[in-house]
Structure 1
Amino acid sequence: MSDLNGVSVFVEAADAGGFSAAAERLNLSRSAVGKTVAKLEQRLGVRLFHRTTRTQSLTDEGQLFYENCLRALSEIRAGEALLESGKQEIQGRLRLSMPVHFGRQCIMPLLSELLRTHPRLEFDLNFSDRNVDLVEDGFDLAIRTGPLRSEPDLMTRKIVDQRMTVCASPAYLEANGTPETIDDLMSHQAILYRRSGQPHAWSFPGKGTQVRTVTPPSRLRLDDLTSIADAAASGFGIAWLPCWLVRNAIASGSLVRILTDTPALSYGTYVVWPKTQYMPSKLRLLIDTLVARLPPMME
């Protein structure tokens, strides 16, 4: 049990971004958090955090361990919630807001399972790509992608990374050749995502924390991701899309991943909810289910 406590303190420190913030959340001293993490590092034989006098950040080994610990703890909590539901059935309504395409394809199947398992659970769902005001609009939880601004009235938890991929149809590649580098994209036709009147550039990890962006030539610009995938499968050009969106098309062969030796950009995806002293069991079950079940769907 002490090993599990050490893991939970480590996860809290990673979520909070440092030992001091984790200590405040856990009602412990900063030194107690640091000693717990140090004992865990000693037991594992690896360094989990880079440490300076003011900040702590995860090492590569720490990031890998964190992602696995997060899933394991969520499975445990989901299991506890399921056992608890046998004593006191999880019930009530949850109002959720989520991005349109991600919500439909990835979140809805998991919500459907929860509805079947818990007959007295209710969901009111809002599919929108805008960031709602949770408190003012009366939402219990929202799903957001990308960097988050600090909002003191909200709690935040990372649920998954969405990885991007570059893809095209076999027919397009046969007719136009296969790009082998990011620079090669500028000699091809792209299908671009347009939002607020401007096409989105394609982003790739650069050196260090830098991000390299390119906007290939395009004759076709759309504001719907599914339509972009369909147009790419029809041979109209190359697309840059989330892996989860094109997973089935790639499995069927209608789309082919390209630039597979080039590092792919990942977007952090988070759940946010209004800060409260007590988290209802229905909300805990939902969050833990998302953390445990979403990662395998992202490849």
Structure 2
Amino acid sequence: MLNLNDLRFFVMAVANGGFAAAGRALGVPKSTVSKRVAELEQALQARLLYRSSRSFTLTDAGRDFYEHARAALIEAEAAQEAVQRRVAEPSGTVRITASVPTAQQYLAMHLPALARAYPRLHVQLEVSDRRVDLVQEGFDIAVRSHFAPLPDSGLVQRQLAVEEIVLVASPAYLSGRGTPQAPAQLSDHDGLLTGAAAGTWRLRGPAGTGAEVTPVPRMTVNESAVLLGAAVAGLGIVPLPQELCRAALAAGELVRVLPDWTAGSVTTTLLMPARRGQLPGVRATVDFLVQCLAPASAGAHARP
């Protein structure tokens, strides 16, 4: 097996046009470069260089060997850099923006674990329902939940989670008002709405069947945690992301209504400027969130 350092001495000698210039570039005596190249030739049992006091040229074998040796050194350096990037501890500040529901539902439980995993990483989370311009405002990452596909903004997009929106109500409400057996029966029930324009629910059922229903408006709130509390209090039926109401379902505070039907899905996407994704701290944060939220997304499709 050839010594990789000997390849480096040989390549530097060729690239610099002689042993003296290579020695200066490497910070070693000329004699060291000459000796190592001679040992390389001995190991290969081939002359690589014609050298005299006036000339320094490659032999045919040396020319072929130089191309391969230079490529081997490039690959070795790339391998070293890849490992160094992998083991380098992420540090510095990572600025994240997210809406209130997204921060509460997805980030609140995971960011403390991220901080423990990377003590030198300073995470700054700004929770706001306004649409933030990542580039202009200097954010590294945005985490957004949305019902329709996001427009092409030139930002890198990574899907974190996709979960069904399910219909839920409290056992007490259903005991008093009856449990719907078909979508059409929802028009006789109190609905908890997410907005004035959300009075009609578009449902999808078995084999891709669809239905549109308009419940009786009971309460309209543009904040999902409040709607969840209203449903637990027995005020009506509400469509909510399954992960949001998972704990209430597990505790028996809520039950699924029409469990074979869903009211669409909500997607959570991570966005970032491409150049920011190369920073070790940002890359570590992105990888961490993907790892944390992908299992939650897969579990969200399992019926409780």
TM-score scaled by length of structure 1? 0.65
Aligned to 1:91: 91
Change (3 A) 1:211 1:143: farther
Aligned to 2:192: 191
Paired with 2:107 and 2:265, the residues of 1 have a C-alpha distance of 18
Paired with 2:218 and 2:181, the residues of 1 have a C-alpha distance of 22
Aligned to 1:151: 153
Contact 1:193 1:224 in 2 (8 A): yes
In the TM superposition, structure 1's runs of 4+ consecutive aligned residues that sit over 6 Å from their partners are 83-86, 206-211
Match for 1:234: what amino acid?
A: A
Change (3 A) 1:207 1:176: closer
Q: CA offset at residue 118 of structure 1?
A: 1.0
Paired with 1:118 and 1:98, the residues of 2 have a C-alpha distance of 21
Change (3 A) 1:208 1:149: farther
Paired with 1:210 and 1:252, the residues of 2 have a C-alpha distance of 31
Q: Percent identity?
A: 34
TM-score scaled by length of structure 2? 0.64
Q: CA offset at residue 255 of structure 1?
A: 0.5
Q: Is there any run of 5+ residues in structure 2 with no aligned partner, and where?
A: 1-82
Paired with 1:171 and 1:277, the residues of 2 have a C-alpha distance of 50
Q: CA offset at residue 131 of structure 1?
A: 2.2
Change (3 A) 1:223 1:277: closer
Q: How many residues align?
A: 214
Q: Is there any run of 5+ residues in structure 1 with no aligned partner, and where?
A: 1-82
Paired with 1:90 and 1:203, the residues of 2 have a C-alpha distance of 45
Q: CA offset at residue 207 of structure 1?
A: 10
Q: How does 1:86-125 map to 2 (within 5 A)?
A: 87-125=87-125
The SS at the match of 2:168 is strand
Paired with 1:130 and 1:257, the residues of 2 have a C-alpha distance of 32
Change (3 A) 1:200 1:296: farther
* CA radius of gyration, larger in: 2
Paired with 1:202 and 1:287, the residues of 2 have a C-alpha distance of 34
Aligned to 1:56: none
Change (3 A) 1:208 1:132: farther
CA RMSD of aligned residues (A): 2.6
Change (3 A) 1:225 1:155: same
Q: CA offset at residue 124 of structure 1?
A: 1.2
Contact 1:157 1:271 in 2 (8 A): yes
Q: CA offset at residue 227 of structure 1?
A: 1.1
Contact 1:181 1:262 in 2 (8 A): no
Aligned to 1:258: 257
